[in-house]
Structure formats: C-alpha cells, structure tokens
Amino acid sequence: MSIFLDEKTKVLIQGITGKEGSFWTDHMIGCGTNVVAGVTPGKEGQQVEGKDVYHSVRRAVDHVEVEASMLFVPPRFTKDAVFEALDSGIKKIVTVADGIPLHDTIQIRRAALSEGALVIGGNTSGVISPGKAMMGFFPYWIERVYKPGRIGVMTRSGSLTNEVTAMVVSAGFGVSSLIGIGGDPVPGTRFSEMLPFYEADKETDAVVIIGELGGSMEEECAQMIRDGLYTKPLVAFLGGRTAPVGKRMGHAGAIVSGGKGSVKDKIEAIESVGGKVAERPRFVGDLLKEVLGL
C-alpha cells in the first residue's frame, strides 16, 4: 500500500488549464496518476488531457468521485483553493506554491486539522509513490531516481531530495512513499504527523528524513520514537551542518530560535533515541543497511 497516494487514488487538478497545470497533469497521468477531472473557474466544458474541466470543486465532486486534490494555483489564491477543496469533503490536498503568505498558511493548517485532512505543502515538490502515481513537480527523469521499494522518505528540501533519494536507490533500496513536507515555516503537515502512517504501512521497512537547520520537526520525530509512537528504523540527512552558529540562512523555514533548531540539536535528538544521521548524502544507503541488518 501507499500512505497517501497510489494508482487508484482519484485525483482532481485545481488550476488544470494553466500552463503549469496542463503541463504537469500530462506528466502525472504518464506516471500512472488517476486524474479524474480538473477545475478552473470560467473554463467549464473544456478538456485537458481528456479530463473534463469544471467551474468549481463542488461541481466537479457532484459529477465524479474525488479523493485527493492537486493545486496549481498562485500563492495568493492558495488559501481559497484549499478551503474550497476542504469544503467539498476532500481530505488529501497537495499544494506546491512557493510564497504563500504566512498568515494564510496558519489558517490552512488550522482548517485542515479541524477537518481531519492532510494538506501537503506549500513550497514542495509534492508526493510520489514510485511506480504507482505522483502529485507534484517531479521531473521527467524521475524513473532513474525514484525506484519502487520499501523505504519511506520525508523531506523539507527540494534541492536535496533527488540527491539523497538517488543514494538510497544506489544502495539497492527503493522508495515506498515520498512526502515533500515543504520548506515553509508553517507546513500543512509536519514530519511527526506522517510517521504514524509509515509505522502502519506493511510495505515500509524504514524511513529517511531529509531535514535541515531551523524549526523543530526533526526533534519532534525523535520525541515520537521516545514515546513509542514510531518504532521502525529512522535515518536522517540534515542540510546546514556547516552553517555558522547564530546565522540565519536559506529559506523561510530555516530559522534557528529559542536555543532549538540547529543541526547540532537535531543530531543529538535523533541519535539519543537510536536514529542514525548521515554526515553526507552518500552515507544514507550505508546507514540503511546497518539499521536493517543487511
């Protein structure tokens, strides 16, 4: 099984007629994604890649069954698009927009939690279950990097995801489900909130987290292990290891404050509960072999 998306998941595309929406819809269908319809206000009656376009999410769900929504909308419209999907009963939402206003991300997260929904993003490449389906911005050469397998991956970093995942695959492993949490200060869903899904997934043997300095999501994963809520092996690679102490670097999520959030803090937290932290991406595969006894 896949923890968020597989080839049977019925996916709606919000913003399907735009340049990015139409381009990536074609690519997602090529990756096996079950796209059932699209939404663009004022464009009802059109088709994109053979999929009907509707004025609104409500009209789409009145005509086709929808389980997940993929958003290709500008940052300033993301909140309204997420709310429209939530109001229509959709419980899985991926938004890739970079630069969503902070107060909007706070409202999106609060609304998703109140509805029992998962919002992945923004500022993310998306979600992929290799060999099954994809929602997001993963490029055409993904088949060379994202091989099916039994290692779950969660990531905050777009730039490091391909490199670290390639090291997982080169070590002889593959990926069960990859979730791009995103790099914003307030993501729709946090690492620790996805760990229980990997814990329950019989097709995931271990999880790799691709983190970085700033925030506390990696420390929260360590607390999940300490509390016995996650028991499978955990391997991490953390970007920003060489960042000068006290210097703010990177994107909006890479903020160290209150004595927490440094790479040193994160390494200590993860290793204190038996997790492994790779010094460089190329060591991730070796650590997976170690924790899995291979």
Say what the alpha-carbon torsion angle 153, 160, 129, 146 is, to the nearest 10 degrees: -110
User: 121 near 99, Cβ under 8 Å?
Assistant: no
Task: Report which residue type is found at 282.
Answer: R
Side chain identity, residue 206: A
Using the 8-state DSSP alphabet, how is residue 49 labeled? T
SS3 state at 251:
coil
Task: Please give the positions annotated as active site.
Answer: 251
Residue 243 per-residue DSSP state: P
Strand, helix or coil for residue 221: helix
Query: d(Cα 24, Cα 223) in Å, to the nearest integer?
Result: 37
Q: What length is written for the chain?
A: 294
User: Which ranges of 43-101 does DSSP label H, i.e. alpha helix?
Assistant: 57-63, 75-87
Query: In the numeric block, which tokens belong to residue 171?
Result: 């070590």
Q: What is the H or E stretch that residue 266 is in? A: helix 263-272
SS3 125: coil
CA dihedral over 152, 148, 289, 162, signed as positive or negative: negative
Distance linking the first and last C-alpha atoms of the chain: 23
